[in-house]
Amino acid sequence: MIDHDEVEITPGKAWVQFWTWVPTLAVMAAIIIVLGGLVALIGWQVGGWFQNASTNRDARIQEHSFSYQQAQIDQFSQDVTNVSYAADPAAKAAWAGEACAVVQRIDRMPADAVSWVSRNCLAGSLSPSSPYFIGGK
């Protein structure tokens, strides 16, 4: 047991004791700062990954939504109508090519459009066997 009457604490002894702990405290503070920075960096990266995954999921949901699909079908119908009304063969080819590109974004083609697509489109482009195809285009 320590006899408190015999322990004399002087400012000099206190100062010496303080400085013996400073290197240990500095190392501990540095470790805490580095670990905190590492946790923050990892959290930031994981947060970015989750945000990117969420954005991609939202885009997939949007692409398959009824309103988006209907808009693509409407665009396809408009492009086919423009093919019918265009007088210039180059304009017909351009509108038909646009219609074939739009088809790639449609999940389920309406039955009345399937025959037009099979006659004129090939892998999202205007088919060389299409009557609207201009050689070399």
Instruction: Report how far residue 70's alpha carbon sits from residue 107's, in angstroms, rounded to the nearest whole number.
Output: 10
pLDDT for position 3: 61
Characterize 73-89 residue by residue with b for buried, 16 or more Cβ atoms within 10 angstroms of its Cβ, and e for exposed.
Answer: bebbbebbebbeebeee
Higher model confidence: residue 62 or residue 121?
A: 121
Regarding whether 79 and 98 lie in a shared domain, the answer is: yes
Residue 124: pLDDT over 80: yes
135 against 65, higher pLDDT: 65
Residue 71's domain spans which residues?
67-126
Does 1 score more than 60 pLDDT? no
What pLDDT, in 10s, does the model give residues 44-65? Answer: 998 888 888 888 888 778 777 8
Would 9 be classed as within a structural domain? no
Per-residue pLDDT averaged across 27-47, rounded?
93
Residues 108 and 71 occupy one common structural domain: yes
pLDDT for the residue 137: 45
Provide the pLDDT confidence category of residue 6 given band limits of 50, 70 and 90.
low
Same domain, 59 and 72: no
Per-residue pLDDT at 82: 93
Q: Do 77 and 55 fall into the same domain? A: no
The count of domains in the chain is 2
Residues 85 and 56 in one domain: no
Tokens of 38: 């590492």
Give the pLDDT confidence of 87-113 residue by residue, as tens digits. 889 999 999 999 999 999 898 888 888
pLDDT at 81 over 90: yes
